[in-house]
Chains A and B, each alone.
Chain A
Amino acid sequence: MRKISAKHLTEVIKREVIAANLQLGDDMIEALRRARNIEESEVGKEILDKLLENAELASANRIPICQDTGLVVIFAELGQEVCIVDGDFTEAIEEGVRVGYQEGYLRKSVCHPFTRENTGDNTPVIIHLDMVPGDRLRLWVVPKGGGSENMSALYMLPPSAGWNGVKEKVVETVVRAGPNPCPPTIVGVGIGGNFEKCAILAKKALLRPVSEPNPVAELQAMEVELLEEINKSGVGPEGLGGRVTSLAVHINMMPCHIASLPVAVNIQCHANRHREVLL
């Protein structure tokens, strides 16, 4: 068994939540630059320039990219030969978020559903844990903003809807969201599984570096088709009109029940913050 200390895990999470919020990934910077070259609307071009400038200012001034520093989602792949010592796995992660959000001057954005009372430390954290072979722990740290999450949706389609039905729902969801999720967006699509798995597939699709081609040729072709359809809408940067509504569509697909065709659309804003670490 390989031992990983809970204290070390806390340190890593603390470091990564801060880094994720201050430093936009190279994949996103590249995608925004490409979008700047494609965009035809003057206002749209100006917005894309400002977003690139914003990312530079954030890392230079050590200010978050966006004031909505998100609800923290963690995807963890825990090797079955790893043993977490000196503490509790979940608590170690939550402590990392607590300390990171305090010391990193990040906004605490988590509250009671009805009283709306803030929990004060940005916990709880949403943790998705998978057990995998090996003796490593792989983590994705994903602070997710509310504006884009609010525009996401899940549909339980009849199997007869087929690919056209799926396409229609995905495009409709993104276009209806308009300016709300701060376009240009990344669209995570989950197809298949069941009710909850489909949503997780969609969210996990967002972890892939932007515009890295889907390794499955069939899905890659579907992604291209969806992106083309979405960008015909004219919604554009910040919804003010233009060619680039979304920067990429990422699909994850798996088999489903003979009676269903679940589709989930998880919209990610341009403040696409995700960090991957291997311990």
Chain B
Amino acid sequence: MSSSHVIGLTTPLSVKDVEGLRAGDRVLISGIIYTARDAAHKRLLSLIERGKSLPFPPEGQIIYYVGPSPAPPGRIIGAAGPTTSYRMDPYTPRLLELGLKGMIGKGKRSTQVREAMVKNKAIYMAAIGGAGALMSTVIKEAKVIAYEDLGPEAIRRLTVDQLPAIVVNDTLGNDLYEDGEKRYQII
């Protein structure tokens, strides 16, 4: 893991973009990304099962696992840090098959998700959990595009400018959580 490596990423992502990234790389993401948590994922999967089209085409896109707090007057969005990712694990492989290229959240992913990332060439990135106020400053536009009834769990299209994240799982199967922990473990 090199400490000075910061890479700018602009969405949508190509296979080449993601193949060039390694676990431990710091990235700054700009462009459009989509939000979805548990309830939205459940609905997306049910659309896929019924052969219906999704509220946004997943190819090349990044999903950010976040349920923001409401925007106070004069602001674009409230606090918007990542939620824990494992809850989305059961739904993720199917979205990766459809071309989803990146996910932003916090916490470890299941073996199935990690294998699906290698197979479908996608990456998983961690944002700083609990840094909701900080993350809200890189979001320049936010619009609910589906499932308004889900409130904080609705799907939003966000325009972000240099959203900071760190690559946890790359297309080679590396895992920064495992490597980082081992590196600082005192036995």
A interface residues (Cβ-Cβ under 8 A, vs B)? 40-43, 47, 50-51, 53-55, 57-58, 61-69, 105-109, 116, 118, 145, 147, 150, 178-180, 182, 232-236, 238-243, 269-271
Q: Which of A40, A63, A116, A232 contacts B132 (CB under 8 A)?
A: A63
> Count the A-B residue pairs with Cβ separation under 8 angstroms: how many?
171
What separation, in Å, do the CA atoms of A106 and B67 have in the docked complex? 11
Chain B residue nearest to A48 (CB atoms) is B128
Please classify the interface of chain A as helix (H, G, I), strand (E, B), loop, or mixed, using the class held by over half of its residues: loop
User: How far does the Cβ of A38 sit from chain B's closest Cβ, in whole Å?
Assistant: 12
Pairs A–B under 8 Å by Cβ, sample size 11: A41-B180, A50-B131, A54-B130, A57-B137, A66-B79, A67-B67, A108-B151, A178-B181, A234-B183, A236-B184, A240-B176
**Residues 136-187 of B contacting A (Cβ, < 8 Å):** 136-137, 151-152, 164, 166, 168, 176-177, 179-187
The proximity string for B residues 28-66 relative to A, scoring 1 for CB distances below 8 Å and 0 otherwise, is 000000000011000000000000000000000000001
Chain B residue nearest to A180 (CB atoms) is B107
User: How far does the Cβ of A23 sit from chain B's closest Cβ, in whole Å?
Assistant: 11
Q: Are A240 and B126 neighbours in the complex by a CB distance under 8 Å?
A: yes
What separation, in Å, do the CA atoms of A150 and B107 have in the docked complex? 13
5 smallest beta-carbon distances between A and B, as pairs? A241-B180, A234-B184, A234-B185, A182-B129, A58-B133
Q: Are A234 and B181 neighbours in the complex by a CB distance under 8 Å?
A: yes
Chain B residues near A41 (CB-CB < 8 A)? 180, 183-184
Once A64-B78, A64-B79, A66-B130 are accepted as A-B contacts, the answer to whether A107 and B152 lie under 8 Å apart by CB is yes
User: How far does the Cβ of B170 sit from chain A's closest Cβ, in whole Å?
Assistant: 14
B interface residues (Cβ-Cβ under 8 A, vs A)? 1, 3, 24, 26, 38-39, 66-72, 75, 78-81, 83-84, 86, 106-108, 126, 128-134, 136-137, 151-152, 164, 166, 168, 176-177, 179-187
Chain B residues near A232 (CB-CB < 8 A)? 185-187
Chain B residues near A50 (CB-CB < 8 A)? 128, 131, 134, 164
Once A57-B134, A109-B152 are accepted as A-B contacts, the answer to whether A66 and B107 lie under 8 Å apart by CB is no
Chain A residue nearest to B127 (CB atoms) is A238
What separation, in Å, do the CA atoms of A55 and B182 have in the docked complex? 30
Q: Are B84 and A47 neighbours in the complex by a CB distance under 8 Å?
A: no
Chain B residues near A69 (CB-CB < 8 A)? 69, 79
Q: Are B128 and A51 neighbours in the complex by a CB distance under 8 Å?
A: yes
Q: Are A180 and B106 neighbours in the complex by a CB distance under 8 Å?
A: yes
Chain A residues near B131 (CB-CB < 8 A)? 50-51, 54, 66
Chain A residues near B128 (CB-CB < 8 A)? 47, 50-51, 54, 238
Chain A residues near B151 (CB-CB < 8 A)? 108, 118
Once A63-B78, A64-B132, A180-B86 are accepted as A-B contacts, the answer to whether A243 and B181 lie under 8 Å apart by CB is no
User: How far does the Cβ of B183 sit from chain A's closest Cβ, in whole Å?
Assistant: 5
Q: Are A65 and B84 neighbours in the complex by a CB distance under 8 Å?
A: no
Chain A residue nearest to B24 (CB atoms) is A43
Q: Which of B79, B130, B133, B182 contacts A270 (CB under 8 A)?
A: B130
What separation, in Å, do the CA atoms of A65 and B133 have in the docked complex? 5
Chain A residues near B177 (CB-CB < 8 A)? 178-179, 239-241
Chain B residue nearest to A69 (CB atoms) is B69
What separation, in Å, do the CA atoms of A66 and B106 have in the docked complex? 13
Q: Which of B3, B26, B78 contacts A105 (CB under 8 A)?
A: B78
What separation, in Å, do the CA atoms of A184 and B99 have in the docked complex? 34
User: How far does the Cβ of B113 sit from chain A's closest Cβ, in whole Å?
Assistant: 15
Q: Are B134 and A239 neighbours in the complex by a CB distance under 8 Å?
A: no
Q: A182-B130, A239-B181 are in contact. List 16 more A-B contacts (CB 8 A).
A: A51-B131, A58-B132, A63-B78, A67-B80, A68-B81, A105-B69, A107-B67, A108-B151, A116-B39, A178-B177, A179-B129, A234-B183, A236-B180, A239-B108, A241-B184, A242-B180
Q: Which of A42, A147, A150, A233 contacts B185 (CB under 8 A)?
A: A233
